[in-house]
Structure 1
Amino acid sequence: MKNILKLLILSSIFTLTSCEDFLDKIPLDTVSEASFYQNASDLQAAVNGFYNDLPGWASLGVGYNILPDSNTDMGLTEDPSNRLSGLSYDVPSSANASTWSWDEVREVNWLIDHLDQASASSGSEQTLIDQYSGEAYFFRAYYYFELLTRYGDLPIFAEYFDNNDTEYVFAGRDPRNEVVDFMLSDLDKAISLMQSFPEISGHPRISKEVAQLFKARVALYEGTWEKYHNGTPFGVAGSDGTRFLQIAASAAEAVMNSGVFSLHGDYSSLFNQVGLSGNSEVMLWRDFNSVTLGIANVLQKSWPNRCGYTKFAVDSYLAADGLPTAISAVDGSNKDLNTIEIGRDPRLAALIMVPGDVVEVRDGVTTVWEYPNFNDANTGNTGYESQKYRNVNYVAAFNDFTEDTSKIIFRYAEALLIFAEAKAELGTITQTDLNKSINLLRARVNMPGITLGAIVTDPNWPNYGHTLTPIIYEVRRERTVELMAEGFRDDDLYRWRAHTLFDGDQPRGAFYNDGVVNTISITTPVDSDGFLLPFSNFGNYNFDETKAYLNPLPLDELQLNPNLTQNPGWE
């Protein structure tokens, strides 16, 4: 455990500058349970290491950065090794860092078990002790959520244990709804202990509002999972998810009612910033600083980052008049990159590159985008390259684009979307609910709001495999376009039990013969309508709904612990 503490302390030095003097207080070779966790500074140093596990951008050494959602039906990479494709249904033989790993839970449990060792010399220090204690509980819920989305039922480990604690070593799996209750209890503790965002010095740090939003995210996931998997081997007997949906709506509304956050005025500029401390919408983010901290990312240096969006992603955007493109006067055929954004939801223009978009501004000279980069190995070959996250300004200090683009982890818009979805799934949503949630998101981009009871039927509403109300269709559309390429899509498809949407299908790219895409001669085949089939070498999506909604437990774990059971379909 002493080695774990050393790693946490070291990682905190490189993550947050507030701990620069920690090495002067306790020599690393003398760190022990007795000498550590004595005050707020000790707890801060310990909890800082967990921040490294939050999402970020790939470092310069990686060479490129796969954009979020690029391994779903919304985006592709040059190597479509994703869960939807079903490229491999092998059960792993042994656990490792990415399969059935409990290292992070055990580490945070060690910290939680020792929180009561810290004592305060003043009221202000007690506030900090409470803050860092709350962060520890947040991270335990965070790690459990990652495991829940992969495996479902999990053993509940409420304290640290070692190899001699046979009660834990040979623990069975607790039902997923009990696991979620455990997570929500941790988040309630975090909420009760942590400061509100404006009270925290030294951002970015997790705040009370972040814990509330994460509570809403977890509860929405479980509520919709139980609703749409009800009656299947993956569901929870006797539960339709209502209780968790109510929790989700309440937790999201708490963030909304706090008055701490508001929507940033310009949607497109949210995602390409260096430093986000002054942004009214961003609740938690990850900064990169290649000069001061030596932490740099490759995001801006490797466009198009071996990624491309799919036709289905582009089809999701309404016409600017608020109507589905199938019934609007706007051309929704998506057959010409020159005109594809005209008369459409402005968030589409913030997503994809079209001729005339800026690629670089250097020494007063502006370079514009002309056609997709099919000849570069760093593309997903869909023809729809990403505008989202691009920072086009040349930076003299790097003799290139910036290496310091921040990564948004939590933003206020998600609270509005969770609130609306939970209420829609419960069947209790009102016009007032829409006006204070989704309609604010639409107003930001000058799109007409939703009028409950007057929703126009879209003949191209996605087939999720379930009969849905018009408001649920539109709430899902809003979530899809607002959070496009932000890392939510995979979880959404799984909690909605949406395999009908993609299974047996082949993702499509841009229309080829439009005078833009076909500027470059390529070998990628097209479908009968002339749209690219970049996935053709791998075949159609092959998703086995009898097993693929959850990952299998490694074989050696089942052999070592007879109290563990395999997930459905993998037996």
Structure 2
Amino acid sequence: MKNILKLFTLSIVVTLSSCEDFLDKTPLDDVSEVDFYSTPGDLRASVNAFYNDLPSWSNTSVGFSVLPDLDSDMGVAENINSRLSGQTGVATESSNSVWSWDEVREVNWLLDHVDQAEGDQTEIDQYIGEAYFFRAYYYFNLLVDYGDLPILDRYFDNNDEAYLFAGREPRNEVADFILGDLSTAISLLQSFPDIATSPRISKEAALLLKARIALYEGTWEKYHSGTAFGVEGSNGSAFLQIAADTSEELIDSGVFTLHSDYATLFNQVGLSGNSEVMLWRDFNNDLGFNNSIQISWPNRCAYTREAIRTYLCTDGDPISVSDLYDDGDKSLATIEDNRDPRLAALIMVPGDLIKRDTDGSTVAYTAPDFATANAGLTGYESEKYRNIDIDPNTSDFTLNTSKVIMRFAEALLIYAEAKAELGTITQADLEKSVNKLRTRVGMPGITLGAITTDPDWPNYGYTLSDVLYEIRRERTVELMAEGFRLDDLLRWRAHELVNGTTPRGAYFYDGIVNSDTPESNVTLDSEGYIAPFINSAPYNFDETKAYLLPIPSNELILNPNLLPQNPGW
């Protein structure tokens, strides 16, 4: 592990809304415990460092940003997802992104020194609570990747062999440790309305993370039961109950409500005052902190046909049975007709605006850009996250579009899924959760006992109750391209859903092609649908090992107590 510290930012106390780089690192041996961690301001400056590790826009070195989830079955980028395609290998050494414990170690250092602080106890508790939140956040990322983990609950140096050579504890015990940290955070953090400067971690954000993690572990243990990845003697119900109870506490608190317009949630400059968004990043290009998301549209990634076909018709029925699905998906110009309005918020179709200038003039979208290799990719380009307004200060697209990190809608989805998994869901539960999401966009709600059977319900490799199929659909649609999809496939043990398939896109010969489109840039399947990877091997997720990543080989040599290696590796 590196002997570095991202906590130490001595000169200024800054806020997340400026997205200042907090990553100035000072060797631990140079940190003066006497001079630092003595005031609430010191703790604030220290914990600010961890905010940089929350999700932001994914920038690349070639001028475009891959949107969340557009390397899964719901979307594709320039290259097919290596994990889904079975191309992941064993790393020889750990790194910043592989089996990295730097962040946990840094939080532990801070937590071991917070007792030095004197001053307003409410402020001190807030920053201690944030530290516990981040330790849980980092640990959860490791749990998703590796399963069983060492539990490192305090800072230690190179002489502490008990911790240096700690073995791995069962994943359910690790999950208990993580949820314990979040319970501590919840007891210390202020409620969102009481925090003077936002966005900061609030009690409600900790409740949502606790519910998210409990749902993950509960469904993981349920669907991996009896496999090498399961937890002996557990069906996940205890964690599912925690997920249901915690999300219900957040819902019933009334602190957050759904924003009135789904489509405008994702392209705003500044999210302060939004009733739904619980945690976010703001950007200010004038100060040099920009998101770069608008540099290049299209951004060489796009949605799949599978994603588009998930959306219901406006009568509440799936496309496989609804009379409203007259034209099918053969025309991009009409594909949004009579469909869940969230589809119109997701993809570009002819007539959508690409640009609105400061003088009010506009430029409309006509067709996917296939003229540049990989630009259109599947033909389903993203409307979500586009901010079409030109910034008068730069005469270009704004670089200040905010990034949603946590929003209240997720709590509604967690509650419904956990209750359905437990087999205790009622119509009243649906009304207080997912039906609110459908009402927002003008869609019919889910009614127990009256759910239309979809002959094309996803093949997860097992059958579900009708209500669970629809709750999973609702989660997929509501959270499309927000970074949840791969984790959902993992916890649902859904390899059958992808194996043997190749991502498909739009129907090519539907009038979307213009004279500038070279067919040489587009590969099609036998039915005329765009198939960007048809000449590559199909998805081949290896269910015997790929549900977890392998621990780097050098770590197993350095610490044999980490053995056994994860299954299959």
Q: What interval of TM-score do these two structures reach, taking the shorter chain for normalisation? A: over 0.9
Which aligned pairs between 1:120-139 and structure 2 lie closer than 5 A? Answer: 120=119, 125-139=120-134
1:434 lines up with 2:440 in the alignment: no
Match 1:343 to one of 338, 353, 363: 338
1:396 lines up with 2:396 in the alignment: no
Match 2:501 to one of 494, 497, 505: 505
Q: Deviations over 1:247-285 (max 9, x none)?
A: 000110111011111000000000001110010000000
Which aligned pairs between 1:331-370 and structure 2 lie closer than 5 A? Answer: 331=325, 333-362=328-357, 363-370=359-366
CA separation of 1:278/1:107 partners in 2, compared to 1, >3 Å: closer, same or farther?
same
CA separation of 1:389/1:545 partners in 2, compared to 1, >3 Å: closer, same or farther?
same
CA separation of 1:230/1:19 partners in 2, compared to 1, >3 Å: closer, same or farther?
closer
Tell me which amino acid in the other structure corresponds to 1:311: R
Partner of 1:306: 300
Partner of 1:522: 519
Matches of 2:10 and 2:134, distance apart in 1: 16
Q: 1:296 is paired with a residue of what secondary structure?
A: coil
Matches of 2:502 and 2:374, distance apart in 1: 21
Q: Which moved more, 1:379-388 or 1:143-152?
A: 379-388
Number of residue equivalences: 559
Matches of 1:407 and 1:190, distance apart in 2: 24
Higher share of residues assigned helix: 1
Q: Deviations over 1:516-560 (max 9, x none)?
A: 146623233322322111112322011111000000000000011
Q: Deviations over 1:94-143 (max 9, x none)?
A: 111111010000000000111111122xxxx2101000000000000000
Partner of 1:320: 314
Tell me which amino acid in the other structure corresponds to 2:526: S
The answer to whether the 8 Å contact 2:82/2:88 transfers is no
Partner of 2:35: 35
Partner of 2:549: 551
CA separation of 1:184/1:92 partners in 2, compared to 1, >3 Å: closer, same or farther?
same
Matches of 2:187 and 2:489, distance apart in 1: 32
Structure 1 residue 398: deviation in Å?
Answer: 1.6
Structure 1 residue 568: deviation in Å?
Answer: 3.8
Structure 1 residue 31: deviation in Å?
Answer: 4.7
Q: Deviations over 1:433-468 (max 9, x none)?
A: 000101100000000001111111001100011110
Match 2:138 to one of 136, 143, 147: 143
Structure 1 residue 3: deviation in Å?
Answer: 5.5
Any stretches of 5+ residues in structure 1 without a counterpart?
none
Partner of 1:4: 5
RMSD, matched Cα: 2.1
Q: Deviations over 1:167-208 (max 9, x none)?
A: 111111000000000000000000000000000011000100
Matches of 2:62 and 2:193, distance apart in 1: 36
Matches of 1:177 and 1:345, distance apart in 2: 38
Structure 1 residue 79: deviation in Å?
Answer: 1.9
Q: 1:65 is paired with a residue of what secondary structure?
A: coil
Q: Which moved more, 1:559-568 or 1:547-556?
A: 559-568
Q: Deviations over 1:356-377 (max 9, x none)?
A: 0000011221100000011224
The answer to whether the 8 Å contact 2:341/2:441 transfers is yes
1:379 lines up with 2:393 in the alignment: no
The answer to whether the 8 Å contact 1:62/1:298 transfers is no
Partner of 2:51: 51
1:408 lines up with 2:409 in the alignment: no
CA separation of 1:8/1:156 partners in 2, compared to 1, >3 Å: closer, same or farther?
farther
Tell me which amino acid in the other structure corresponds to 1:161: F
Q: 1:410 is paired with a residue of what secondary structure?
A: strand
CA separation of 1:30/1:77 partners in 2, compared to 1, >3 Å: closer, same or farther?
closer
1:91 lines up with 2:87 in the alignment: no
Q: 2:279 is paired with a residue of what secondary structure?
A: strand
Which aligned pairs between 1:40-439 and structure 2 lie closer than 5 A? Answer: 40-58=40-58, 63-86=63-86, 88-120=87-119, 125-292=120-287, 294-331=288-325, 333-362=328-357, 363-377=359-373, 379=375, 381-439=377-435
The answer to whether the 8 Å contact 2:8/2:46 transfers is no
Tell me which amino acid in the other structure corresponds to 1:167: A
CA separation of 1:552/1:30 partners in 2, compared to 1, >3 Å: closer, same or farther?
closer
Matches of 1:357 and 1:18, distance apart in 2: 31
Q: Which moved more, 1:155-164 or 1:88-97?
A: 88-97
Matches of 1:442 and 1:142, distance apart in 2: 30
The answer to whether the 8 Å contact 2:549/2:566 transfers is no
Structure 1 residue 509: deviation in Å?
Answer: 0.5
Matches of 2:196 and 2:204, distance apart in 1: 15
Q: 1:291 is paired with a residue of what secondary structure?
A: helix
Matches of 2:278 and 2:62, distance apart in 1: 28
CA separation of 1:154/1:29 partners in 2, compared to 1, >3 Å: closer, same or farther?
closer
Q: Which moved more, 1:89-98 or 1:59-68?
A: 59-68
Matches of 1:406 and 1:144, distance apart in 2: 26
The answer to whether the 8 Å contact 2:269/2:402 transfers is yes
Match 2:560 to one of 559, 562, 571: 562
Any stretches of 5+ residues in structure 2 without a counterpart?
none
The answer to whether the 8 Å contact 1:108/1:140 transfers is yes
Partner of 1:540: 538
Matches of 1:385 and 1:438, distance apart in 2: 27
CA separation of 1:175/1:271 partners in 2, compared to 1, >3 Å: closer, same or farther?
same
Structure 1 residue 51: deviation in Å?
Answer: 0.2
CA separation of 1:445/1:11 partners in 2, compared to 1, >3 Å: closer, same or farther?
farther
Structure 1 residue 297: deviation in Å?
Answer: 1.4
Matches of 1:158 and 1:141, distance apart in 2: 11
CA separation of 1:570/1:12 partners in 2, compared to 1, >3 Å: closer, same or farther?
farther
Structure 1 residue 4: deviation in Å?
Answer: 1.7
- When normalised by structure 1's length, the TM-score is 0.94
Matches of 1:527 and 1:163, distance apart in 2: 57
- When normalised by structure 2's length, the TM-score is 0.95
Q: Deviations over 1:3-58 (max 9, x none)?
A: 625655579647456999xx9xxxx9985112111111010000000000000114
Identity %: 61
